[in-house]
């Protein structure tokens, strides 16, 4: 009988130790899991960027600055090139959404045609920040510049170069950007606010050259032949204006026909210093790229912004060109 009791006690003690051992292992495993969770790195923020085109040095510089700023802030930036095609842009944005982006930066090729992309982002609860060009539909905020004011600055300078207010005379050839583009319309309308007040000025509007130099060269060759009495060229960006300068040089007219552009391309500023170009309106793409990434991250962090964040502008002429010239940059930096 005593033996049976002793055997029972030994079995009970052994079972208790086994249970305690199992419990101890469970607690140790739980503590290890908690430790792993506490040391796990936070998930990296992914920024999607749908760029209107990369067939322009301005947009390449903007994109390069955005990529650099995203990396600097520890975020990942995935970009796509719409190639000035609104259908492709809408499809590109849908593709970015499926890749798991947290926020979308959008430079729309068409202010209303991009609505399918905006609807898709809204459905996926992804905030949108536009850059350089606005949309008609409201987004978190728009980072850009007052392109109408920029066109007006160019127009006022054109008037000054042709004789001044009330005295300006001469024919102007205008090289236009992209058909239907908001930037194009603003730079055109702002320019005409200034020059259309002058009865002595006549403006010949050239074809849409999509902000590219090669198209501007081809268009200006025909325009110059039809208008040999041109006194000034105004282009909606410096790349097209430099295309016109190329044609003028080929016809020994460099320095004789005034040139006004927009964007602050360093090559244009060098031409200003060389006396072959007269003025450009500052449009620092590096600042836009940095600002829009910082803004997108701020939106994700719950910060509120005004509908429009103005990155500012200014006029560059022979009087201040030296302050902006920097051969290590593609575009002049804002001061």
pLDDT confidence of residue 56: 84
The span from the CA of 185 to the CA of 191, in Å, is: 10
150 band by pLDDT with thresholds 50, 70 and 90: very high
CATH class of 147-282: alpha beta
Residue ranges in the chain assigned as alpha helix (H)? 2-39, 57-72, 86-98, 115-123, 147-161, 182-195, 213-226, 238-250, 266-273, 285-300, 321-324
Q: Is the pLDDT of residue 28 over 90?
A: no
Q: Is the pLDDT of residue 215 over 70?
A: yes
Strands across the sheet containing 103-106:
76-81, 46-51, 103-106, 128-131, 141-144, 308-310
Same fold, 46-144+286-304 and 147-282: yes
pLDDT digits (tens, 9 = 90+) for 155-186: 999 999 999 999 999 999 999 999 988 899 99
Right CATH for 46-144+286-304 from 3.40.50.2300, 3.40.50.300, 3.40.50.720, 3.40.50.1970 = 3.40.50.2300
By three-state DSSP, how is residue 171 classified? strand
Residue extents of the structural domains in the chain: 46-144+286-304, 147-282
């Amino acid at each position: 009988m005593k033996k049976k009791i002793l055997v029972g006690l030994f079995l009970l003690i052994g079972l208790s130790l086994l249970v305690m051992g199992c419990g101890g292992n469970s607690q140790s495993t739980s503590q290890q899991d908690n430790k792993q969770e506490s040391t796990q790195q936070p998930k990296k923020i992914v920024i999607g960027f749908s760029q209107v085109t990369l067939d322009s040095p301005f947009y390449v510089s903007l994109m390069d600055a955005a990529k650099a700023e995203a990396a600097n802030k520890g975020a990942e930036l995935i970009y796509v090139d719409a190639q000035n095609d609104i259908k492709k842009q809408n499809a590109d944005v849908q593709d970015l959404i499926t890749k798991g982006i947290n926020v979308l930066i959008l430079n729309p090729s068409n202010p209303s045609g991009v609505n399918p992309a905006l609807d898709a982002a809204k459905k996926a609860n992804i905030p949108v920040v536009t850059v350089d060009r606005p949309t008609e539909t409201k987004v978190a905020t728009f980072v850009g510049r007052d392109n109408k004011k920029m066109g007006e600055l160019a127009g006022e300078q054109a008037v000054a170069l042709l004789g001044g207010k009330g005295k300006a005379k001469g024919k102007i050839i205008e090289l236009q950007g992209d058909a239907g583009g908001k930037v194009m319309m603003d730079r055109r309308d702002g320019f005409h606010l200034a020059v259309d007040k002058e009865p002595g000025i006549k403006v010949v509007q050239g074809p849409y050259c999509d902000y590219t130099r090669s198209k501007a060269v081809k268009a200006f060759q025909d325009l110059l032949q039809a208008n040999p009495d041109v006194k000034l060229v105004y282009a909606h960006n410096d790349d097209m204006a430099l295309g016109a300068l190329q044609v003028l040089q080929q016809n020994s007219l460099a320095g004789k026909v005034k040139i006004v552009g927009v964007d602050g391309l360093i090559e244009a500023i060098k031409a200003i210093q060389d006396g072959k170009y007269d003025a450009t309106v500052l449009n620092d793409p590096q600042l836009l790229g940095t600002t829009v990434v910082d803004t997108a991250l701020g939106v994700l962090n719950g910060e509120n912004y005004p509908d429009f964040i103005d990155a500012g502008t200014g006029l560059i002429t022979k009087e201040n060109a030296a302050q902006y010239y920097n051969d290590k940059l593609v575009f002049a930096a804002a001061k």
